[in-house]
Structure 1
Amino acid sequence: MLGVAIPTANKLAMLNTVSKNLPMDTYFNDGKKKITEMRSNRP
């Protein structure tokens, strides 16, 4: 589980950094919200 969570956290951090430099930040934010929702829906 940790092996999956750590790279995912790194990817989200990278997306967060990139999104600050792009006009597509809303696109990245929507993607992060969907990922968070999918995780919270897991049993």
Structure 2
Amino acid sequence: MPQCPHQGQQRGRSAMGWFFGFKLHLLIISLLTIRASSRRSR
């Protein structure tokens, strides 16, 4: 990754990206579990 002079912004951006990635991962897992449960019910 290219070093940016704004370390504060970069640090905040990385934190936000990690948080969004974590939320997205949870959302995908929940969707997969819902699909599996719906398939099992059917």
Note the 1:30-41 alignment, pairs <5 A.
Answer: none
The alignment-based identity, stated in percent, is 9
Matched, 1:7 2:12: yes
TM-score relative to the length of structure 1: 0.49
- Where structure 1 has 5 or more consecutive residues not aligned to the other structure, the ranges are 24-43
Aligned to 1:22, what secondary structure does the other structure show? helix
Q: Which has the higher contact order (CA 8 A, sep 6+)?
A: 1
Give structure 1 regions of 4+ aligned residues with deviation exceeding 4 angstroms. none
- Where structure 2 has 5 or more consecutive residues not aligned to the other structure, the ranges are 1-5, 29-42
How many residue pairs get aligned? The number is 23
RMSD: 0.9
In structure 1, what is the Cα distance between the partners aligned to 2:10 and 2:23?
20
